[in-house]
């Protein structure tokens, strides 16, 4: 069984913590997808469900509430969910959209907030951020870099976009 660090930086058996990590990531993915809006929709799935909730009869209301909740949230990792949102709320944005949360961001946040994440906590925060970055930034928006089918930045298409942009300015 793999050994994982616990909140205090010590080591714990990995199975239990890996299961909690998986539960948190499943919950996060569901919540991120509910929050996602596309250029076409202009409204998130969560907003649509919330509007339906206001008009629903009791039976339908219960189903909508369950859809809004999604997968089980591992409350013991609630501190990581809160930490991720603190970090995400302060995330930088560049010319290509939101930036990922870096180790430097986590270190600065830790110094300023007084939180002391363990290496395992940092790994989970980075997992949450990678998941967020794969869902929330709109892949169809022109501010996102073009990618190839394997997810790599398409440098040929990006170069073409830059050349067209520079052509606009003479």
Tell me what pLDDT residue 164 has: 73
Given a contact cutoff of 8 angstroms between Cβ atoms, the answer to whether 110 and 117 are in contact is yes
Same domain, residue pair 77 and 108 = yes
Tell me what pLDDT residue 50 has: 87
Structure tokens at 64: 């909508």
Rounded Cα distance between 83 and 166, Å, is 40
Tell me what pLDDT residue 106 has: 97
Q: Where are the alpha helices (DSSP H) in the chain?
A: 14-35, 45-55, 58-69, 78-89, 103-113, 119-135, 155-168
Same domain, residue pair 121 and 37 = yes
Same domain, residue pair 98 and 164 = no
pTM of this structure: 0.69
Range of the domain at 126: 3-138
Looking at the structure of the chain, the number of domains it has is 2
Same domain, residue pair 10 and 87 = yes
Same domain, residue pair 85 and 115 = yes
């Amino acid at each position: 069984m793999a050994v994982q660090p616990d909140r205090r930086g010590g080591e714990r058996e990995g199975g239990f913590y890996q299961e909690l990590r998986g539960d948190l990531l499943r919950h996060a993915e569901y919540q991120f997808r509910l929050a996602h809006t596309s250029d076409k929709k202009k409204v998130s799935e969560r907003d649509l469900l919330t509007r339906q909730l206001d008009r629903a009869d009791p039976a339908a209301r219960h189903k909508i509430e369950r859809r809004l909740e999604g997968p089980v949230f591992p409350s013991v990792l609630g501190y990581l969910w809160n930490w991720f949102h603190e970090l995400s709320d302060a995330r930088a944005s560049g010319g290509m959209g939101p930036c990922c949360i870096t180790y430097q961001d986590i270190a600065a946040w830790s110094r300023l907030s007084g939180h002391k994440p363990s290496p395992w906590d940092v790994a989970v925060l980075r997992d949450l951020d990678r998941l967020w970055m794969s869902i929330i930034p709109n892949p169809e928006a022109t501010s996102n870099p073009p990618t190839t089918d394997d997810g790599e930045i398409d440098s040929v298409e990006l170069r073409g976009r830059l050349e067209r942009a520079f052509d606009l300015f003479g």
